[in-house]
Amino acid sequence: MSTGLVVDPTNDNTEAIEEVWSNCEKETAKRSPNEFRTKLIASLRQLACDAKESRAAIAKGVIRNWIPDKNDRGTFTTQLARGLLGEDGKPCAATNDLAPDDISKLREFVPKTESPGTAPATAPSKP
């Protein structure tokens, strides 16, 4: 195991790797927090919903790592849950592969006033 952790001086690409991560950090810092969340939700949704193989395992991993155990209906969690359930206006192939307990967990984060395939309820506008 230690051999895998020791850098071979003849093939040391540590600086190149550091530059890639540094550039990634700089580009991320240019985005607003809202834009970052939106892109993250889209990426996680695409990762799970559009996978050609192992969709259920990928979706389960996304749920386990990105959907909290407590009922915290933040915008991020609600939007991701709706996406994984295919209730954001786009079908999600992984939904059909999910176990009932995963579906139940996602449903905890979708407001009860919504029905499948509808947009989230909005407050009435003030005159």
Q: What is the reported pLDDT for 33? A: 87
Residue 122 has pLDDT above 70, yes or no: no
Q: Assess if residue 77 is contained within a domain.
A: yes
Q: What are phi and psi of 51, to 5 degrees?
A: -65, 140
CA atoms of 83 and 44, how far apart (whole Å): 9
Q: Assess if residue 44 is contained within a domain.
A: no
Q: Assess if residue 39 is contained within a domain.
A: no
Range of the domain at 80: 53-110
Residue 41's contacts (CB-CB under 8 Å, 6 or more residues apart) are: 76, 79, 80, 83
CA atoms of 5 and 91, how far apart (whole Å): 43
Mean pLDDT of 38-67: 94
Residue 112 has pLDDT above 80, yes or no: no
Sign of torsion over alpha carbons 41, 45, 48, 51: negative
100 vs 115, residue with greater confidence: 100
Residue-wise pLDDT tens digits, 4-32: 677 777 878 888 889 999 998 888 888 88
Query: How many domains are contained in the chain?
Result: 1
Average pLDDT, the chain: 84
